[in-house]
Structure 1
Amino acid sequence: MQNLDFSHLYSNAVGFERMARELEGAFAQKNSAYPPYNIEKRGENSYSITIAVAGFEREELELETEQGTLKVKGRKVPAEGERHFLHQGIAERDFELAFKLSQHVEVQGAKLEHGLLTIELARDMPEALKPRTIPIGKSDSLALPS
């Protein structure tokens, strides 16, 4: 039986690691998205997405969030003058990536360095949703609603 891998289905979902691990092993192929990117967990509640955007200027990139989805767009402005490539290995085509964000994951910022766009994310769980310890008192100290 072939070993299957579902991880590519959740490669664009940040904060869903458990689901991705549970479904891992469902497909044999990896997602071949352009441009290539990494999603990294940096701490208990912080993540980063690093996208290889060689050849793109800051003005040619756009980030936006809408309804729990982070969209990253690259629109290449054609270079002035005619260019004659002997070999073109750096793709300079437009792209759009969409990353589904888990609940309470927010974009903290982004930077472009050395052809890599790094987007910082953090999960900010509201206090009401965080696990808490409930003290157990004596039976005579429990006040029942009237």
Structure 2
Amino acid sequence: MRTYDLSPFWRSSIGFDRMLDLANDAMNDRDNYPLYDIERTGDDQYRISLALAGFTPDEITITAEQSKLTVEGRKADKGDHNFLFQGISMRPFRRVFNLADYVQVKNASFENGMLMIDLVREVPESMKPRRIEIGVAGNDNQQIEQKQVA
């Protein structure tokens, strides 16, 4: 596996710290438990699905912050088991998803061992692009004369 040194970018960039941290964290993410999918369900709608076989909704905690979504799970100890083989992992986990600006959690559901978290991106009206009319500087009569000539 290749490793990249991002330190030259930190020296020559101002205000991009979060983006570089995200890139660095993505390259160093070695933990692959629990397995998850991220899908686009609409123009500004997304769904994160986590495979959590053996867990119940009471053993899972979802926390939404400004730019992070954290899913944690801890299996309640239910006594001694004498496993001959244990293929279903019941270890505690913590999975953090970085969210873009204006992405909010709308719903979470748990069915058949799958945790599904629905997200939507809602950009405020003041932040959406808008068309700006261009006015002619100077005399209003000049603008009327130009319209009549054309």
Count how many residue pairs are aligned between Structure 1 and Structure 2: 120
Distance 1:126 1:63 in 2: 25
Distance 1:48 1:64 in 2: 16
Q: Does 1:74 align with 2:35?
A: no
Q: Which residue pairs with 2:60 in the alignment?
A: 61
Q: Which residue pairs with 1:132 in the alignment?
A: 130
**Structure 1: gaps (5+ residues):** 5-18, 142-146
1:100-129 residue CA offsets vs partner (Å, 9 max, x unmatched):
111100000100001000000000001111
> Following TM superposition, by how much is the alpha carbon of 1:58 offset from its aligned partner in structure 2, in angstroms?
0.8
Question: More relative contact order in 1 or in 2 (CA 8 Å, sep 6+)?
Answer: 1
Q: SS of 2:85's equivalent? A: coil
> Following TM superposition, by how much is the alpha carbon of 1:66 offset from its aligned partner in structure 2, in angstroms?
2.3
Coordinate RMSD, CA, aligned: 2.6
**Structure 2: gaps (5+ residues):** 4-18, 141-150
> Following TM superposition, by how much is the alpha carbon of 1:87 offset from its aligned partner in structure 2, in angstroms?
1.5
List aligned pairs for 1:6-45, cutoff 5 A.
31-45=30-44
> Following TM superposition, by how much is the alpha carbon of 1:135 offset from its aligned partner in structure 2, in angstroms?
2.7
Q: Does 1:117 align with 2:115?
A: yes
TM normalised by structure 2 equals 0.69
1:67 is aligned with what amino acid? Q
Distance 1:68-1:30 versus aligned 2 partners, 3 A rule: closer
Q: Which residue pairs with 1:93 in the alignment?
A: 91
Q: Does 1:107 align with 2:84?
A: no
After TM superposition, what 4+ stretches of structure 1 lie above 4 angstroms from structure 2? 29-32, 137-141
1:10-54 residue CA offsets vs partner (Å, 9 max, x unmatched):
xxxxxxxxx8xxx8xxx7x98542101111111111111111110
1:109 is aligned with what amino acid? N
Q: SS of 2:126's equivalent? A: helix
TM normalised by structure 1 equals 0.71
Identity %: 40
